[in-house]
Amino acid sequence: MSVRALRHLMPFVAALAVAVAMPAAASAASYGTRTLTVGVHGKDVKNLQRYLAYAGHRVARDGEFGPRTQRALRATETELELRADGIATTREQRAIKRAVKDPSAGGAAYVAPPPPEEVVPGARGTVTADGFAVPPESAPETVKDVITAGNAIATTPYKWGGGHAQWDDTGYDCSGSVSYALHGGGLLDSALVSGDFARWGSAGPGRWITIYANGGHVYMVVAGMRFDTSARSRTGSRWTMEQRDSDGFSVTHPRGL
């Protein structure tokens, strides 16, 4: 081959080398450093699949982002109040990691919730810096019991289907969380799914407890404090004083509360 021909061929060889190297670099990408969508692969996809599996989804941890991974991602996005488009942005990946953790892995040091007898003045509770709810002094004992039960699982992992097969679980989804807290107050004998809460109890907001439910999600406000799995992805706790838009949710409450 002539020197001139070789000189013309060099750019094409270099471009081909870059094209070959790019998939290899992408496959080694660290979790949370690039957007993940259908068709990509790598160890970061495998980590995403691992977190989705901890949430209870049946996904292969093969590092290939396919339709099943996308379906599991969309379900988790909906649950965590994220944009349910099946595309995992870097910010979303971090939110999922915070909300869904391996229940067998070690974590931060345990912080005990406040004692049940601790209260604040007035008719509105407060959420501590550790993410636990403190009931108002004037709340009925049933409401205080609901709050105490909510504190018991406030910082446990999100787990798809958690709290439905058994009350004491390694994690809880949205309806499992609300069911657990209401059960702690003696208001529920068995766990309900999200859609069931839209028809449970009495219609409209309650004085102490208001439940917001549709076919895909449920949360509640107890003495002014929101108890919601989606809050955990941002604060580490299901309790928050921050309220959210309730459009698209049916509103109910436990009878008498």
The residue ranges of every structural domain in the chain are 3-99, 126-253
Amino acid (one-letter) located at 20: V
Burial class (CB in 10 A: 0-12, 13-18, 19+), 63: middle
Please tell me the pTM assigned to this model: 0.69
Task: Single out the residue of 36, 160, 30, 158 nearest to residue 86, CA to CA.
Answer: 36
What are the residues facing 203 on neighbouring strands? Answer: 252
Alpha-carbon dihedral angle through residues 35, 40, 43, 47, given to the nearest 10 degrees:
60
pLDDT in tens, the chain (257 residues): 554 544 555 554 444 444 444 454 557 889 999 999 999 999 999 999 999 887 767 889 999 999 999 998 988 887 776 788 999 999 999 888 877 765 545 444 567 888 989 999 999 999 999 999 999 999 999 999 999 999 999 999 888 889 999 999 988 999 999 999 999 999 999 999 999 999 999 999 999 999 999 988 999 999 999 999 988 877 889 999 999 999 999 999 999 99
Assigned CATH topology for domain 126-253: endopeptidase fold (from Nostoc punctiforme) (3.90.1720)
Return the SS3 of 200.
coil
Assigned CATH topology for domain 3-99: Muramoyl-pentapeptide Carboxypeptidase; domain 1 (1.10.101)
Q: Do domains 3-99 and 126-253 have the same CATH topology?
A: no
Other C-beta atoms closer than 10 Å to the C-beta of 237 total 22
Residues 131 and 236: beta-carbon distance below 8 Å? yes
